[in-house]
Structure 1
Amino acid sequence: MNFDLIIKNGLVILDDEAKRLDIGVSSGKVSAIGLNLGKGAETIDATDFIVSPGMVDAHVHITDPGGGVRDFWEGYETGTNACAKGGVTTFMEMPLNQVPATIDKESLLIKYAAGEGKLLSDVGSFGGVVPFNLKGGIQELDEGGVSAYKCFMATCGDRSIDGDFMNVDDYSLYEGMKQVAKTGKVLAIHAENAAITDRLGEMAYQNGETTLAAYVKTRPVFTEVEPIRRAILLAKETGCRIHICHIACPEGVEEVTKARNEGVDVTCETCTHYLYFETDELDSIGPIVKCSPPIRDKKAQNGLWEKVNQEEIAFVTSDHSPCTPDLKDKENAFEAWGGISGVQNNVDVLFDEAVQKRGMSLSQFAKLIATNPAKRFNLEEKGCIAIGKDADFVFISPNNPYTLKAEDLAYRNKISPYVGRTIGAQIERTILRGQTIYSKENGISTKRIGRFIK
């Protein structure tokens, strides 16, 4: 049999094991897995590499269009370049920080148009749930092909910007959940108690606090746990399927596990940065590592690793949320933008930390970065290496350390808390639907073959 592409001799991660196999690709799909498959129009020798499903990063912010106010934040071209270089073949795009926010048919079409001809990875779109789209907007988004929905229980958005996102109040959350439930899709939730964290932050700022350590104290663990409980209660009442985003504390995961054991359709994620950084080092790094929920202490980090290993956390994401350098370059941490640029270093950092340092199996690693998010958000052609699936792969070069430099970053604004860190594995090649979109030898492809998944 002849194939468009044969990948030979790689250590291939399958559902329950990793084996040295060949993969045959035809018309962008995996068409054969085995040995001595035949001939390919193109053949790639993967002898030295682990062949993993391409990452499905379930939490990425792209600010395209910028609406005249965020035009110099991350765009589709640079954002998907970074995805390609980092082994991310598909990502789920949040309905903010683009302007206008993605909250109805018109704004969804504007977003699709903004990405036309710019994508180097595939993109699944989230629609927003906000107080002002409860009279038809949620249904329009469903008809427009969004994969899921997103809301904020924490304060978000800039009320001076027309069309910016907005957090939900309790009624909007309840009504939004009822409407999302009718679509059958998942509502992803940023769960922090807005009233308490806002006031604690105001008080700390007024008292002259300036450090990231002080910022972390204004968002204590219970301000995550309480809204998670509230969201779960409303999910029980409405029948809405929910997903808790970027949990930063094991106590929050425990609430999700308890609810799931009680029959609630709820999952959760954490982020690579919560598994990598800890509070004590934040001020030495600076505001580029500020995010919310905040990066917590070593005890919380160890607890998250336990939850990951016990498979209570469904997947790990980047929550890639970049901005312009001026919004990070603040002496007072409370004045800095809260968001981390991380999509390019999810796979290599997590592989190093999980597999190489902690002994995670390759099959569990693949589930964390690809299989589980694809299943949760019904990306039927993504997430695993199996016949009939999209031929999306990342070649990982294990035990091959390098030190990340700012010039290595493909982001529009080359800032990241991982700069200067030595990472113990490298991305050798990224393949999307059978086509190489990045290789260490040739760099990032100029062929914009990515597409929106509708």
Structure 2
Amino acid sequence: MAELDLLFKARRVVTAAGEVARSIGVRDGTVIAVEPLDADLEAAEVIELGDDEVLLPGLVDSHVHVNDPGRTEWEGFGSATRAAAAGGITTIIDMPLNSVPPTTDVAALQTKRKTAEGRVYVDVGFWGGAVPGNLRELRGLHDSGVFGFKCFLLHSGVDEFPHLEPGELADALREIGAFDALMIVHAEDPHVIDHAPAAHGASYRDFLRSRPRGAENLAVAQVIELARRTGCRVHILHLSSSDALAMIRSARRDGVRITVETCPHYLTFSAEEIAEGATQFKCCPPIREAANRESLWQGLADGTIDCVVSDHSPCTPELKRFDVGDFGVAWGGIASLQLGLPAVWTEARRRGHTLTDVVRWMAERPAELMGVHRKGRIETGYQADFCVFAPDEVFVVDRERLHHRNPVTPYHGRPLAGVVRGSWLRGVPIDIDSLPQGRLLNGGGA
């Protein structure tokens, strides 16, 4: 074999064969050799990992709100992708809302791509949005490279991205089903929430009552039936109600093309531990009880839940309303992009899961489901995107040391296991203090 550009030698590498000792050879940004540790390979650069380090594929986070352009005081492409790289994530897909304009037509997609160009430290793709009145824009967005379409079934939190009524959702599913695109859905039923107690004050228990499990369960059932009727591929975002898992299993047995994700905060925190006024924990759907959390873990273990992604949804400290601690008026969103891997690993290993499981949930499956090709695995022919991870090193989260734009996160002060010691993109180490080398990705029909 001709000389390689780069050779990783590690006693612990997570591959398709599980966690094994391997030499990983890279040329021109692609993995071209996965060989035994003692294989006779030559490379321009050789990196030998320590016994306390594991080589993982770079993670793929398909649910990130970068908020750029338009709300760059909340986040931005530079700060978000630095945080991603620091957390072992080498690919993100940006959500179509909270930026202004939202990504609901081709012109807005072009604006977003122009804004991101030359500013990203990891590879970045884009979701399109499905909103009332843009049915004729969906094919153009697909052909221009979005990875699929996001919709809400209730108010999104920002007026410029309105939600779809059931008939509009059915029309959108028929439209994108014709070119086999993916619809990703924020599934909460507005009528259930309208009839629930209003969120107000500092009590997290009162906030939880304002977003009952029934709102998720009913909305998931509605998405399942419309997917069954139209044949369109659908994906349930940020599942927090474990009650919906049985419906999802049943739908799959019936041939409905449905997948589902959950998020690190639903797998880490519980409603019982959230203090009064701690609005950094507010998100929608909400963090639920400890028993619900354990059922979500079971759903991951049995494969009902496909993947774990961040739903990184940051804002300025002022919008969290720490001055009054009122869950009713605070912005709902968890900032966690840099912390997803250690957060999930900390909880996973307590429950007997392995790093191979975590890689499947946070790299392999998101890449497969969202159509991010040649990423998410350490295999020949795949891109040389890596994370060097020290799984047994423990640290305490300090919000001031995180790279996303604003120092707000519910993980502040929490001890976590697992430190990312480096991230590599196409065989090149990511240096978040130098020029960004990430690329903008195309999906769909582009």
Distance 1:198 1:451, change over 3 A: farther
Q: Aligned-pair distance for 1:199?
A: 4.3
The counterpart of 1:220, out of the listed 207, 212, 229, is 212
> Is 1:60 aligned with 2:48?
no
Residue equivalent to 2:315? 323
Is the 1:348–1:396 Cα contact (8 Å) retained in structure 2?
no
Q: Aligned-pair distance for 1:37?
A: 4.4
Paired with 1:198 and 1:420, the residues of 2 have a C-alpha distance of: 35
Paired with 2:219 and 2:89, the residues of 1 have a C-alpha distance of: 30
The counterpart of 1:200, out of the listed 196, 201, 204, is 196
Q: Aligned-pair distance for 1:361?
A: 2.6
Instruction: State the SS of the aligned residue for 1:292.
Output: coil
> Is 1:184 aligned with 2:187?
no
Distance 1:89 1:201, change over 3 A: farther
Instruction: State the SS of the aligned residue for 1:183.
Output: coil
Paired with 1:57 and 1:287, the residues of 2 have a C-alpha distance of: 24
Is the 1:211–1:334 Cα contact (8 Å) retained in structure 2?
no
Q: Aligned-pair distance for 1:170?
A: 1.0
Distance 1:145 1:298, change over 3 A: same
Give the stretch that moved more between structures: 444-453 or 272-281: 444-453
Is the 1:22–1:37 Cα contact (8 Å) retained in structure 2?
no
Residue equivalent to 1:335? 329
> Is 1:369 aligned with 2:362?
yes
Is the 1:212–1:334 Cα contact (8 Å) retained in structure 2?
no
Q: Aligned-pair distance for 1:282?
A: 1.8
Residue equivalent to 1:441? none
Equivalent AA in structure 2 for residue 353 of structure 1: E
> Is 1:114 aligned with 2:131?
no
* Aligned 1:30-429 pairs, distance under 5 A: 30-34=31-35, 35=37, 36-47=39-50, 48-66=52-70, 70-134=71-135, 136-159=136-159, 164-202=160-198, 204-205=199-200, 209-284=201-276, 286-330=278-322, 331=324, 332-354=326-348, 356-429=349-422
Paired with 2:40 and 2:128, the residues of 1 have a C-alpha distance of: 42
Instruction: State the SS of the aligned residue for 1:389.
Output: coil
Is the 1:60–1:320 Cα contact (8 Å) retained in structure 2?
yes
Distance 1:198 1:4, change over 3 A: farther
Is the 1:247–1:253 Cα contact (8 Å) retained in structure 2?
no
Q: Aligned-pair distance for 1:284?
A: 5.0
Any gaps of 5 or more consecutive residues in structure 1?
A: 439-443
The counterpart of 1:446, out of the listed 428, 434, 440, is 434
Instruction: State the SS of the aligned residue for 2:178.
Output: helix
Paired with 1:195 and 1:425, the residues of 2 have a C-alpha distance of: 42
Q: Aligned-pair distance for 1:212?
A: 2.1
Q: Aligned-pair distance for 1:213?
A: 1.8
Any gaps of 5 or more consecutive residues in structure 2?
A: none
Give the stretch that moved more between structures: 120-129 or 149-158: 149-158
Distance 1:37 1:293, change over 3 A: farther
Is the 1:269–1:314 Cα contact (8 Å) retained in structure 2?
yes
Q: Aligned-pair distance for 1:171?
A: 1.4
- Size of the aligned set, in residue pairs, is 436
Equivalent AA in structure 2 for residue 53 of structure 1: P
Q: Deviations over 1:226-250 (max 9, x none)?
A: 0100011011111110000110021
Paired with 1:158 and 1:83, the residues of 2 have a C-alpha distance of: 25
Paired with 2:400 and 2:271, the residues of 1 have a C-alpha distance of: 27
Q: Aligned-pair distance for 1:10?
A: 4.1
Q: TM-score, normalised by structure 2?
A: 0.95
Residue equivalent to 1:16? 17
Q: TM-score, normalised by structure 1?
A: 0.93
Paired with 1:285 and 1:369, the residues of 2 have a C-alpha distance of: 31
Distance 1:158 1:366, change over 3 A: closer
Equivalent AA in structure 1 for residue 414 of structure 2: R
Is the 2:58–2:90 Cα contact (8 Å) retained in structure 1?
yes
Q: Deviations over 1:167-211 (max 9, x none)?
A: 111111111111111121211100001122144254x54xxx442
Paired with 1:391 and 1:198, the residues of 2 have a C-alpha distance of: 48
* Percent identical residues: 35
Is the 1:16–1:363 Cα contact (8 Å) retained in structure 2?
no
Q: Aligned-pair distance for 1:367?
A: 0.8
Equivalent AA in structure 1 for residue 41 of structure 2: G
Paired with 1:16 and 1:312, the residues of 2 have a C-alpha distance of: 22
Q: Deviations over 1:95-114 (max 9, x none)?
A: 11101000111000001001
